[in-house]
Amino acid sequence: MATITERDLAATIDHAILKPELTRADVDAELDIAAEWRVFSVCVRPSDIAHAVARLDGTGVAVGTVIGFPHGTTSTAAKVAEVRQALADGATEFDMVVNIGALRSGFDDVVTADIAAVVAAASGHVTKVILETSLLDDEQIARGSRLTEAGGADFVKTSTGFAGGGATVPHVELMRANVGPGVQVKASGGVRSYADALAMLAAGATRLGTSGSAVILGEARRVDAGGDAVGAVDASSY
């Protein structure tokens, strides 16, 4: 079974802190988890950006946020305004939701222009496009992946985690097959264990969105120490 060290795995994780019901104390607890496990970044609600930047100062954990979340149906102008405010608040990565209805309708020019406008507003910072794969068929996922690349984004991402379903190995593989080497794939939604993480990375993901970072990295730590991860399976079986 392919394995990955705790440190290398942590470097793939965007720790999600996005549930609408979270209190400030809940958010702080999650930010502390991200700092403790030294994940790559947190992905926080837009209203939490400035606080997260201040609390994580000096930890090496980047702060990202969501744009047009969770449905993707806000106007392009609204998405651009969100990016500009998020930049001012200190965010450095942006996970935008694609206009799902436009993608399903075949309005490819609308989808591409929406992505391109957000990418331009991000001013060189990393932009990820969430397709919400549970609401799409394979043709739409493949086309959405290609439109993500056409719009200039850095990543295509599976899910918000708020529409049912989540990342699957076949969808990650499909997305990987439909973008060039300059576009990466983020698996998000339902990535809850070390085994899940291995499977998504083996399928072609290079970033993982999860709120289960402590569980996943705790299992990786046990593997590093020569033990077995709880629920670990051969990634090749996925």
Tell me the angle at which helices 76-89 and 108-121 cross, rounded to the nearest 10 degrees.
20
Distance CA(216)–CA(213), nearest Å, equals: 5
Strand partners, 67: 96
Query: Does the annotation count 19 as an active-site position?
Result: no
Catalytic one among 79, 128, 186, 196?
Answer: 186
Catalytic one among 89, 95, 114, 196?
Answer: 95
Lookup: tokens for 118? 């957000």
Query: Does the annotation count 186 as an active-site position?
Result: yes
Determine contact, residues 128/155, Cβ cutoff 8 Å. Answer: yes
Distance CA(170)–CA(182), nearest Å, equals: 20
**Residue 87: φ, ψ to 5°:** -60, -45
Query: Does the annotation count 79 as an active-site position?
Result: no
Catalytic one among 14, 128, 157, 196?
Answer: 157
Region for residue 12 given its phi and psi (left: phi exceeds 0; alpha: psi -120 to 50; beta: otherwise)? alpha
Which residue stretches of the chain are H helix? Answer: 6-10, 24-37, 49-55, 76-89, 100-105, 108-121, 138-150, 169-177, 194-203, 213-224
**So which residues are the catalytic ones?**
95, 157, 186
